[in-house]
A and B are shown apart, each in its own frame.
Chain A
Amino acid sequence: MARILIAEDDTSINMLIAANLRLVGHTPIQVYDGIEAVQAVRTQHPDLLLLDVMMPGLDGFSVMEKVRDEVPVIFITARTGLEDRLQGLGYGAEDYIVKPFEILEVLARIENVLRRTHKNQNEFRIKDVRVDLDGRHVYLQDQEVTLTPQEFQLLEILIINRNLALSREKILETAWGYDYEGDTRTVDVHIQRLRKKLNLEQEIQTVYKVGYRLQTGGKG
């Protein structure tokens, strides 16, 4: 799993990101100012840096200049000014996130960057199921299970956002594409098939009034 450095001076936001990263299996490292951030990059070699732009000590852009060759960076900014965004990407940042953000969006962007830098997880195991995420194969008790592309897409989303409940709409949007004209029942049907095929009746949970969640039991 990826080690992700969070450089954010606001304690609450820092804790929020850390809690969610931990949930989906990443290892967060929390720092609260720019100088600490540079030190942490040098000593702990994280796979990704989430970098707040406005920080005491050393601001995000200055940190970026120092560590740009050592770690991929996603900027977090409260300012919606266009200059910031351009400058952020111009400095070689992988992406940027504007506050207030949706945590699912943050996780999706982190996953994208990790995939680009090949720091993402290739293999995921739960109970008797083994998923080869890069090869797109699924094995139950070492026997390959045939999944439709849609089913695999659904499984992948559940794995990336594990321990987090996803709404049916969110699943539909992510797995079938934004324009898909199906109703949310489609999701229920696919979830049922997935549970049956992989024998994950307990693990793929229905969360009251929210949606579905892949519960991994322990964290990570």
Chain B
Amino acid sequence: MKYWQKLYLSVLILFIVCLGGGFAALAQYSIHTSYNERKDAFLSVQHIVAERLSSDMTAVRKRDPGAVLPLLRLYVERMRRQGYMFWVEDAEGNTYGYLPMTAELAAVRPGERGYQVIKNEADGHRCLVAVTALSDFRFGLGDDLDAFFRDWHRTLLRYLILVLSLVLLLAVGLFFVLQRLNRPIRELEAEVDRITEGAPKQQKIQAADRQDELGELARALDQMETTVQQQMQELKEESQARQTLIDNLGHEMRTPLTAIKGFAQFLQRTEQDPEETFKSTEIICKESDRLLKLSEALVQLSVLRHEAPKMETVHLKDLLQFAVDSTRTKAEERGVSVQLRAEEDTVLQGAPALLESLMINLIDNAVKASKPGDRVSVTAEGRCVRITDMGCGMDPETLQKIEQPFFRADKARSRQEGSAGIGLALCRAIVDAHGASMTFQSAPGTGTVVEIIFYDSATT
């Protein structure tokens, strides 16, 4: 059952119970009161008539006993005119007039009075009957209540019709009012259904303009949908990125593994001269190194993504000096010179090992891009580090992709040098972990400048 239907039925039932109960109580009270009034009036009439009859009878008997009957006839006539039934029984048991009678009333002792509501056998009407026992006769008076009860039933019917029409009026009115009040709830319900089905938003929720709780609910729903959609989008992108990484990783691992397995089988299955054996094992070693480097970089990358590195005080000048020294041998082998210019010493908050790895990686890239005789310069000014090479440079399209894991600007060359292919992705993660910025400026033929800026709040 729907909420509005429950509300509807509850209000209706409550109304019927209250109104019906109220009217019933009122009717009960009212019939009781009017019956009592009628009874009191009747009893007082009966009393007066009894007294008068008693004195009249005494007087008539004294003067003229034969006039008793005409006297009684006179009384009967007078009482009938007033709407009462009249009955007299003398000491000898002769009765005059008619009244429905019961044993209790017949047994009323002299000087007392009894009254009762009795059903008249003759016409089936209910009568109020009062009997008074006087010195030598009994006198009774009856009041036919049929008209009273019929009146009362008519009144009761009118009450019932009134109550029913009120209930009907309420039923109809309540239905429309609840329908109207329920409209925003239905709208919200439809919205929730839509969100559940993942259908796009078509129009503004009208209930959102309301000032009541439904308005608040509508606005909250709207807000929730926006948030959920944003999170879904982020999640989707993240999982996409992760999927790409895994796909690429699979590819990156397959190639060295194919070579390693291939050469191992070659060694196992063929007869070679020492030169060939050396070449084969050399390739196995080189490819294994590549895989090792890749797995190390991946672990570092994964750690960086999940926890913030421990920050210490780092002297930028010392750090750069160390990085330049570490790459010098390799650079000299290629005939490339690396120069460091750092006038002032800047103190940073950072993870020394990560920053070293960042600088070495970037200088290494610069050296690899250079031709023999070229120079790579590393300069530090305040919190800004620039690594400049005079090498081949990159076009804007390449520049956009270099930070993607496993993107290689020059695949054949970089593989040959045993690069893992996620160096710059790692650099980016390190830079992000330090809240620093890293930008590349490059054009084909003019070399590349990498600029790293550490901000004051270099902790995240």
Contact = CB atoms under 8 A, between A and B. Distances in A.
Contacts of A99: 254-255, 258
Given A165-B268, A165-B269, A78 B255 contact: yes
Interface in A100-145: 100-103
A210 B261 contact: no
Contacts of B262: 13, 16, 20, 103
A86 interface: no
Nearest to A56: B411
Q: How large is the interface on A (under 10, 10 to 19, 20 to 34, 35 or more residues)?
A: 20 to 34
Contacts of B79: none
A13 B270 contact: no
Given A101-B258, A164-B270, A12 B251 contact: no
B63 to A, nearest CB: 139
A145 to B, nearest CB: 27
Secondary structure of the B contact surface, majority rule: helix
A67 B10 CA distance: 85
Contacts of A12: 255-256, 259, 263, 283, 286-287
A33 interface: yes
A213 interface: yes
A79 B250 CA distance: 9
A78 B269 contact: no
B123 interface: no
Interface string B65-97: 000000000000000000000000000000000
A129 to B, nearest CB: 20
Contacts of A100: 254, 257-258, 261
Given A79-B251, A100-B257, A100-B258, A164 B269 contact: yes
Contacts of A33: 412
B283 A15 contact: yes
B269 A32 contact: no
Nearest to B409: A56
B410 interface: yes
B271 A13 contact: no
B52 interface: no
B265 A163 contact: no
Contact of B268 (A20, A23, A32, A210): A210
Contacts of B410: 56
A3 B287 CA distance: 28
B28 to A, nearest CB: 88
Interface string A6-17: 000111110110
A1 to B, nearest CB: 17
A10 B415 contact: yes
B269 A10 contact: no
A207 interface: yes
Nearest to A15: B283
A207 B271 CA distance: 10
Given A16-B266, A19-B276, A165-B268, A56 B259 contact: no
B162 to A, nearest CB: 82
A20 B266 contact: yes
A56 B412 contact: yes
Which of A54, A78, A166, A210 counts the most B-chain CB atoms under 10 A from its CB? A78
B255 A13 contact: yes
B44 interface: no
Contact of A163 (B259, B270, B280, B286): B270
B369 to A, nearest CB: 15
A12 B280 CA distance: 9
Interface string A56-90: 10000000000000000000001100000000000
A215 interface: yes
Given A79-B251, A165-B270, A13 B412 contact: no
B270 A16 contact: no
Nearest to A217: B271
A60 to B, nearest CB: 13
B416 interface: yes
A53 B268 CA distance: 29
Interface string A209-220: 010010100000
Interface string B402-436: 00000000111001100000000000000000000
A215 B269 CA distance: 11
Contacts of B258: 13, 16, 99-101
Nearest to B412: A9
Contacts of A101: 258
11 contacts: A9-B411, A12-B287, A32-B412, A56-B410, A56-B411, A56-B412, A99-B254, A99-B258, A101-B258, A103-B266, A165-B270
Interface of B: 251, 254-259, 261-263, 265-266, 268-271, 276, 279-280, 283, 286-287, 410-412, 415-416
Given A10-B415, A16-B263, A165-B270, 17 more contacts: A11-B416, A12-B256, A12-B259, A13-B262, A16-B259, A19-B266, A19-B280, A20-B266, A55-B411, A56-B412, A100-B261, A103-B262, A164-B270, A165-B268, A166-B269, A207-B269, A213-B271
Closest 3 CB pairs of A and B: A12-B259, A100-B258, A165-B269
Interface of A: 9-13, 15-16, 19-20, 23, 32-33, 54-56, 78-79, 99-103, 163-166, 207, 210, 213, 215
